[in-house]
Structure 1
Amino acid sequence: MIFTHHRPSPPSARSNGRRTAGVAAVLATLLVLAGCTGGAPAKDQTPAGQASSASGDGAPEGFEKFYSQDVVWTECRTDFECATVAAPLSWSDPDAGEIELAVMRTRAGGDKIGSLLINPGGPGGSGVDYLEAAAATLGDRLRESYDIVGFDPRGVRDSTEVRCYGDAKKDQYLSEDFDLSTDEGLAAARESNAAWAAACAENTGELLGNVDTQSAAKDMDMLRAALGDDELHYLGASYGTSLGATYAGLFPERTGRLVLDGAIDPRLEDGEMSAGQAVGFENALRAYVDDCQGGAGCPLTGSVDDGMQQVRGVLDQALERPYPTDSDREVTQTLAFYGVAVTLYDEQNWPLLTQALEEAIDKGTGTMLLFLADFYNDRNADGSFATNSTEAFSAVNCLDGRSDPDVEAMRAEAAEIEAAAPTVGTFFSYGGISCADWPYPVAEQQYDVAAPGAAPIVVVGTTNDPATPYVWAEGMAEALDSAVLVTYEGEGHTAYGRSNSCIDDALEDYLVDGTVPEDGLTC
């Protein structure tokens, strides 16, 4: 996701984006995801246990061995094949050492076009987990025509990962509250983030300075060659759109069919992103309140404005007096906000928010809010964490760009954000302290954001997307020379697979047949 509260939250779009398509669809189907499986392998594909034939095409000098490496697949999970691919620690120094990238695929069921790489967002979302969860919902035509390949970007999950705190300390870090309206609270929040950054440096080493989006995009080009493809075909959501657009900027001549869903304007500064997303979540929450009040059993009374104030009251109470739960844990304001925000990624999840608010308002307890916050943070019931999405989110964001940590500048920006988004703006303010003490500098941009010479790129935006506001999709389509914009009129984060057949058919016609949608298509 993108939140820039006193600390970055787990993945979404570059300031937020969590698993993009992840949170949007996964929460609504939480209990059935374990049953998702991949498709039957095509008969003419490389058998598991044997290596894919690398093309080696396009290797930078000194990195030839990475581009020409064999990818050896073995059966894993259910109906999938997994591999581990070597990548350089640093794309600026071939002698700096190596890291590992975790890769998983389902094989094409028919005549194969090539490989389709997918990324669910974040930064910090696992493409391997995403493939397992989404394989059964990807369109049949895609599954017939492509080897669908999910990968964990450098620093993420099953790849060589970013490490910071142990479980107990991370749990505390993710639940801390600070009164950012005071200088003391702001200083305490910065100190907390500085300690987190120091732990990440100590426990991760040099990798921490090499997990920027440009490096991940270079990994994708290496994967393209190692998988034997001449061009990169790609489906990226939320932060995955930044990754795809970066690839197009770096390698326009090798850009194949790219779909960027839930897009992020690459020209925005961090503060602009925070403000945009605050308004996006404010609007999504307003749509929820309006819908809730129009039905039976809504705990929010009066007008929509009244309902928004009541939601804010729930959040403010958690700061003053954390909600008790049916466990020994309490719901702080930070956790309460995560619990509210995670449901806004997909309107199918709105009934869960109603349950959580009803419990908090009528009973004064926060068990449902805690469940939702734990889902957002990938926290297991036993206190362990299923992924390192928080760690990777911090590391990638702090290398890609930073807000001004000057106190007066942050206070002025916070006033603007909170005026535009009075209910949730607080949680998108003061982002400058998140990376103020990060031990590595921002990566120097090495590409043209316009990606001149790239093949047509399909950019998709949802009109009331909370995490990646529609105006960002308009901005990305304007920034990329070869982009066409496709619009889904609706609620929630991203569009493919959760909107309607008009969107799905247009994107699959492009990916499978190469038919570029009409610029401005609205569904």
Structure 2
Amino acid sequence: MILSAFGLLFTVPLSTAVVLRNDQSPDLASLKFNESLQWGACDPNIVQNPSISCAFFTIPLDYHDAHAGSGRIAVAKINATGERLGSVFLNPGGPGGSGLDSLNTIGPELVALGGGHYDIVSWDPRGVGPLTIPGDIFCFDSVEEYNGFWNGTIELNGIEMTGNFTDPADVQALLSQAPIMQKKYEELGQRCMQHPTGKYLKYVGTAATVRDMVALADALDGPDAPINYVGTSYGTLLGSWFINMFPERVGHVLLDGVVNPVSLATQETPYVWDEEAADADKVYEGLVTGCALAGPQACTVAQQGDSAVDVDATIQALLKKAHDATRKNSSVSVTSAAIRSQIAGALYSPAQWAALANTSYPEAVAAVDAESVGITSASGTRRSLRRRQMNDTVSYTTEAILCSDSVDQRGTSMKTILEDVITASRTSSRIASAVWPAPFRYCPFWPVRAVERYQGPFNKTLANKILVASNKYDPVTPLANAQALVDILGDQARLVVQDGFGHTTGSSPSQCFDEVAFAYFVNGMLPDGNDTVCEVDADFEIFNNVNTEDIVAAMTNA
């Protein structure tokens, strides 16, 4: 599968977008940018592919205020292999995903997507990585400081519950954390502002990143050239903002795994997350259905003759046992919250389902069985810290970007947020809704918003039609989001649905989708309507002798 998405003075076009501004009118007269990029070898700690070259590109921190100063973005490029038609820019999502790392991983495949006619260009956006300035956002100086600050809270321990908060004691235990977490999240915001990276918080928003991409396109392809773009997950939000902030510059654009831009512009992010997780349990149903089809020979969770319901019951029994062990001893290393978080993470990629069932599950069973009789393992970990290799501390880049873009604070309390977690576990997803921490939950308490935010409209007249894609069953960007975006854009967009599971079409191989994308980028051809459905390749087995088509058919016939 192709996807899984000096000294020249010039003016970046200022769109007529409806934006929220916190400062004065534009002053670009004194902003200096790179006339050309000086390409060279990449940092081998990040990019190992020798066909990729790297450079730095100077950016203003604020495109509307020259006095704010400048930064730089780390850029990587893999050259076209045939007659060059321009560049295709890639954002892999997150927010906080490294474009350099992604290009290192899938660069050659993206070159093939464009028939070899495009340079593929990606970058670490502002707020991301050790090379871009502003780079990663930190609020603590060490993991130890992080752990000490959050000790004894759900931030480290996760949320313990069974079913979908079936036990009232779990509800009471969670709500008792509300005043503690309210204070902690407010204190976190102040820590982030006071940290050396805090001075950059208002400059890491998506609107500025859109302008960075346009400036970079101007430098590489010329100020009037169409801008070609591939965005996956959060990269679709960047794409939605781009095509509406600069509709006259839209070239070939593919948005895969859509974040609903209208929801983010109008709702607080915790409620946006409830919408984003709407299909997570359907993906989980695919997992347990595939396991049941595979049987115990290929999926150790299943017993001979088990149905999907039986497999789910086995997993829920493990979660209940881990939950009860944690109730007796809060220091156990493998909790129900940790297991649930691992399951939710695996839903992103069907290629991981067999490993989850055949490696992680037996390990969890052994650990929980030991905990149940009073044996704890020092080797277990409750959750994975979000560390950067270049700095042994915890990055808050994802929260900083997401919350910079979010609506203004509306006085929402932590008690309301935790009550929503309980409700969402019953109405949205019992698997994903109670996973904590979650970046979307921070924004009602985050103290900073970006100096520029785009809030619509999202139906501008585009220079060229775009391609929108979605899996039928996506755990964090449901198909309904892609359908909503296409409805907003009308005849200016075409939707392709991949009949499979996971986050973005890149989670499973599909020759059909590759051919659609190739025809679009190379020949400018789009499907005639929005009823195009692509099957996942039949030889992609999720479990031994069980492919996507088998699972979908079993779910449909159930």
TM range (shorter): 0.7 to 0.9
Query: Over residues 433-454 of structure 1, what are the superposed CA-to-partner deviations in whole Å (9 max), with x where a residue is unaligned?
Result: 5223322136543542113234
1:338 equivalent to 2:347? Answer no
Per the alignment, residue 89 of structure 2 pairs with 117
Say whether the 8 Å CA contact 2:201–2:400 is kept in structure 1: yes
CA drift at 1:108: 1.0
Query: Over residues 256-291 of structure 1, what are the superposed CA-to-partner deviations in whole Å (9 max), with x where a residue is unaligned?
Result: 111001112222233443223333221111210111
1:422 equivalent to 2:430? Answer yes
Say whether the 8 Å CA contact 1:56–1:226 is kept in structure 2: no
1:292 equivalent to 2:291? Answer yes
1:493 equivalent to 2:503? Answer yes
* Paired residues for 1:38-49 under 5 Å: none
Say whether the 8 Å CA contact 2:58–2:71 is kept in structure 1: yes
Per the alignment, residue 226 of structure 1 pairs with 219
1:89 equivalent to 2:61? Answer yes
Per the alignment, residue 122 of structure 2 pairs with 150
Q: Distance in 1 between matches of 2:147 and 2:443?
A: 20
CA drift at 1:73: 0.9
* Paired residues for 1:40-439 under 5 Å: 56=10, 58-60=12-14, 62-63=27-28, 65-66=31-32, 69-76=35-42, 77=44, 78-138=50-110, 140-142=112-114, 144-157=116-129, 158-159=131-132, 160-161=134-135, 162-165=137-140, 166-170=142-146, 175-177=156-158, 181-182=171-172, 183-203=175-195, 204-229=197-222, 230-268=225-263, 269=267, 270-297=269-296, 298-300=300-302, 303-315=307-319, 318=322, 321=325, 330-354=333-357, 355-364=359-368, 374=384, 377=386, 384=392, 390-401=395-406, 405-406=412-413, 409-410=416-417, 413-420=420-427, 421-427=429-435, 434-439=442-447
From the CA coordinates, give the structure whose radius of gyration is larger: 2
CA drift at 1:419: 1.6
Say whether the 8 Å CA contact 1:410–1:429 is kept in structure 2: no
Per the alignment, residue 470 of structure 1 pairs with 479
Q: Distance in 1 between matches of 2:439 and 2:401?
A: 14
Say whether the 8 Å CA contact 2:87–2:119 is kept in structure 1: yes
CA drift at 1:412: 5.4
Q: Distance in 2 between matches of 1:109 and 1:372?
A: 46
**422-431 or 393-402, which moves further after superposition?**
422-431
Query: Over residues 46-81 of structure 1, what are the superposed CA-to-partner deviations in whole Å (9 max), with x where a residue is unaligned?
Result: xxxxx9x98957444643645563211112242211
1:522 equivalent to 2:533? Answer yes
SS where residue 72 of structure 1 aligns?
coil
Query: Over residues 219-266 of structure 1, what are the superposed CA-to-partner deviations in whole Å (9 max), with x where a residue is unaligned?
Result: 111111122342211011011000011001100011111100111222
Say whether the 8 Å CA contact 1:120–1:236 is kept in structure 2: yes
Query: Taking structure 1 as reference, are residues 155 and 431 closer, same or farther at Cα in structure 2, changes over 3 Å only?
Result: closer
Query: Over residues 496-519 of structure 1, what are the superposed CA-to-partner deviations in whole Å (9 max), with x where a residue is unaligned?
Result: 483311111111211122112333
Query: Taking structure 1 as reference, are residues 432 and 253 closer, same or farther at Cα in structure 2, changes over 3 Å only?
Result: closer
Letter in 2 for 1:119: N
Structure 1: runs of 5 or more not aligned: 1-19, 23-50
Q: TM-score when scaled to structure 1? A: 0.79
Query: Over residues 89-141 of structure 1, what are the superposed CA-to-partner deviations in whole Å (9 max), with x where a residue is unaligned?
Result: 12231211111211111111111111111011000101111000112333525
SS where residue 496 of structure 2 aligns?
strand
SS where residue 68 of structure 2 aligns?
strand
SS where residue 480 of structure 2 aligns?
helix
SS where residue 108 of structure 1 aligns?
coil
Say whether the 8 Å CA contact 1:259–1:459 is kept in structure 2: yes
Q: Distance in 2 between matches of 1:88 and 1:383?
A: 25
SS where residue 258 of structure 1 aligns?
strand
Say whether the 8 Å CA contact 2:288–2:312 is kept in structure 1: yes
1:510 equivalent to 2:520? Answer yes
Q: Distance in 1 between matches of 2:70 and 2:95?
A: 21
Equivalent residue in structure 1 for 2:465, among 456, 472, 483: 456
Q: State the identity as a percent.
A: 24
Letter in 2 for 1:330: S
Say whether the 8 Å CA contact 2:204–2:404 is kept in structure 1: yes
**440-449 or 511-520, which moves further after superposition?**
440-449
Q: Distance in 1 between matches of 2:381 and 2:435?
A: 20
Q: Distance in 1 between matches of 2:501 and 2:8?
A: 42
CA drift at 1:334: 4.6
Say whether the 8 Å CA contact 1:70–1:226 is kept in structure 2: yes
Say whether the 8 Å CA contact 2:325–2:332 is kept in structure 1: no
Q: TM-score when scaled to structure 2? A: 0.74
Structure 2: runs of 5 or more not aligned: 15-25, 45-49, 161-169, 372-376, 535-558
Q: Distance in 1 between matches of 2:431 and 2:113?
A: 43
Q: Distance in 2 between matches of 1:304 and 1:252?
A: 47
Letter in 1 for 2:67: D
